[in-house]
């Protein structure tokens, strides 16, 4: 059990942390912007304590930095951070595939197939926002099927950090269809319980996503 679960202060801190993290990743707060405790507390209608705790958690995740006598400033996610995340995912998602194929049950495997079918449907319709949401669900099922809390936590966090850039990548010409082909290969490897193939095709999928992101013009 996480420390403080069930205490109102903890859940409030988590709520504020998640809101601020989302606002940073979505670009509401940009690199170099100042986060002022009192102002944020007033905007959210809370005391300064949970805001201070949420900011401390953001600092631990590297999204903000605290400079003595100056304040708290947004760091955000840099291009290098994104490249690093994809490189780490290439290493870790192969392991996720191996463990998930070994441990996934038939009901969950069917859910994975159903999500792929929906991805195919919405890709054909050109609704890439919906495809992006389904893509997150697809990978979340794989992470959960590893039955490994540490691996699941790390990879889920990575998914969240690159959500915006991943959607932008999906909208690059030809990428949505290629991504669909890659997901189909992943599903087939899971259905066949082919651990070696599953590891290979999932790593190839992440590598292709990384290469596509690297080709995107810099903001």
pLDDT of 187 strictly over 90: yes
DSSP for residue 171:
T
Position 94 scores a pLDDT of 94
pLDDT of 10 strictly over 80: no
pLDDT grade for 180, boundaries at 50, 70 and 90: very high
pLDDT grade for 7, boundaries at 50, 70 and 90: very low
Encoding tokens for residue 164? 């915006």
Residue ending a domain, among 74, 91, 111, is: 74
Report the alpha-carbon distance of residue 185 to residue 63 in Å, rounded: 35
Residue 3 lies in a domain: no
Report the alpha-carbon distance of residue 185 to residue 194 in Å, rounded: 11
Residue 49 lies in a domain: yes
Position 218 scores a pLDDT of 64
Residue range 30-69, pLDDT digits in tens: 899 999 999 999 999 999 999 999 999 999 988 999 999 8
Residue 154 lies in a domain: yes
Report the alpha-carbon distance of residue 22 to residue 158 in Å, rounded: 13
Residue range 87-118, pLDDT digits in tens: 999 999 999 999 999 999 999 999 999 999 99
What's the whole-model pTM score? 0.80
8 Å CB contact between 22 and 58:
no
Position 219 scores a pLDDT of 54
- The reply to whether 166 and 181 lie within a common domain is yes
pLDDT of 27 strictly over 50: yes
Sign of CA dihedral 26, 63, 146, 144: negative
pLDDT grade for 9, boundaries at 50, 70 and 90: very low
Mean pLDDT taken over the chain: 91
- The reply to whether 120 and 196 lie within a common domain is yes
Encoding tokens for residue 206? 């992440």
Q: Domain range for residue 191? A: 79-215
8 Å CB contact between 200 and 185:
no
Residue range 126-177, pLDDT digits in tens: 999 999 999 999 999 999 999 999 999 999 989 888 888 888 889 999 999 9
Percentage, residues of the chain above pLDDT 90: 73
Average pLDDT over residues 73-79: 89
Residue ending a domain, among 34, 51, 74, is: 74
Residue ending a domain, among 74, 89, 106, is: 74
Average pLDDT over residues 181-207: 97
């Amino acid at each position: 059990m996480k420390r403080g679960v069930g205490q109102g202060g903890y859940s409030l801190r988590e709520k504020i942390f998640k809101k601020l993290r989302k606002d940073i990743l979505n670009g509401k707060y940009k690199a170099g912007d100042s986060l002022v405790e009192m102002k944020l507390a007033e905007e959210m209608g809370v005391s300064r304590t949970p805001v201070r705790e949420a900011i401390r958690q953001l600092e631990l995740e590297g999204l903000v930095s605290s400079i003595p006598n100056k304040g708290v400033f947004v760091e955000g996610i840099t291009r290098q951070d994104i490249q690093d995340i994809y490189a780490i995912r290439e290493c870790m998602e192969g392991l996720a595939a191996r463990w998930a194929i070994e441990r996934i049950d038939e009901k969950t495997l069917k859910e994975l197939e159903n999500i792929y079918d929906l991805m195919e449907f919405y890709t054909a319709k050109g609704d890439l926002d919906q495809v992006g949401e389904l893509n997150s669900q697809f990978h979340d099922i794989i992470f959960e099927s590893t039955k490994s809390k540490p691996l699941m936590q790390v990879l889920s966090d990575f998914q969240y950090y690159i959500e915006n850039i991943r959607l932008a990548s999906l909208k690059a010409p030809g990428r949505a269809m290629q991504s669909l082909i890659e997901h189909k290969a992943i599903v087939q490897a899971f259905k066949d319980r082919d651990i070696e193939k599953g590891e290979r095709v999932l790593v190839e999928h992440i590598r292709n996503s990384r290469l596509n992101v690297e080709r995107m013009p810099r903001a």
